[in-house]
Amino acid sequence: MTAPVSAIDAGCVKIQLDCQHGRVVAATIQAERPDVARVLCGKPADAAVALVPLIFALCGRAQGRAAALALAAARGIETAPHLDAAVECEVLREHLWRLLLDLPPMLGLNAQHGMFAVALRALNLGARDTLAESLNDPFWNQLMAALADQDEPDTILDDVEALLPAMSAHQSLVFWPRLTRALSQAPLWQGLAAETGAYARWGGQNPAGAPPFAARWHARCAELWSWAADEAKVDAGGTVSAAVVAPGIGRALVETARGVLMHEITLDPGGYEVVDYRIVAPTEWNFHPQGILSEWLLGRAADDAGALERFVSSAVSALDPCVRWELRRN
């Protein structure tokens, strides 16, 4: 018997820090996420796909679209890469929420509920000029200045960031012929624990020379400006595609607010029932045990527990998990 949707825990990112001599000497990061296969396998395919956006509280449109496109591909109907208006709107809404409601209190500023309402209305109406006007509000300069004052990781100019490149569902088959359980839990690209999300979609471009945390927030702003200027192109947030993996197996890729989302569905020979279902979500990329978060945390000063916790909170927020997170330290 499968568990009801309401019984599914969305998951948690668990961070364990081992500290010695006033420094973080080891960081163990584990993203625990639900195994949707146990819920969806054995169900009629259309009913299973309808459940997907109900299972995931965040990015429900992206999750639902990925499920529907993967099912269509399993039935032989592929989808060329394009910007999906509904998913694109969801991506930008998530950016606005994070930038105007979540980030300001972290930096000692007030959440901007009024500005958020105006910007969201402009987004929903497709009023690009109105959104651009909102993005010119003086508050944004105040927010960027506060970002510049937060504690940031030490960086080395020669560091090369592992960023997951934009790709279509067809192109993904070159790297991952099938989505496996192991890949779902700890995905790798060419052997690397790569980062995904707005910053990766912009190829790590950082014209302002912002430090790591701020650069991730700047990338979200850039996607908002790109839409307001009607300059968003395929590979930006909201891009979707789907490909046939093999007869009865379909894969979809969707660029969500937090990064690339991959769904792969396997149907029974009759094409009626789900035999297997795999999801590789952005959180598994961005909170990989060997990912960028570990690099930021290793070597950090640990004498001041409060300062360390604030630093971890800033790091986690810059990468933006789609589930809760918890920190433990020795």
Question: Residues 91-110: pLDDT tens digits?
Answer: 999 999 999 999 999 999 99
Domain limits at 121? 5-329
**81 three-state secondary structure:** strand
The alpha carbon of residue 166 and the mean position of all alpha carbons in its chain are separated, in whole angstroms, by: 13
**How many residues can be counted in the chain?**
330
**Contact by Cβ (8 Å): 42, 51:** no
Torsion of CA 51, 54, 57, 58, to 10 degrees: 50
**What is the pLDDT averaged over residues 160-172?**
93
As a whole number, mean pLDDT of residues 215-241 equals 96
Q: What is the pLDDT of residues 259-284, one digit of tens each?
A: 999 999 999 999 999 999 999 999 99
Our count of domains for the chain comes to: 1
8-state DSSP, 6: G
CATH number at residue 309: 1.10.645.10
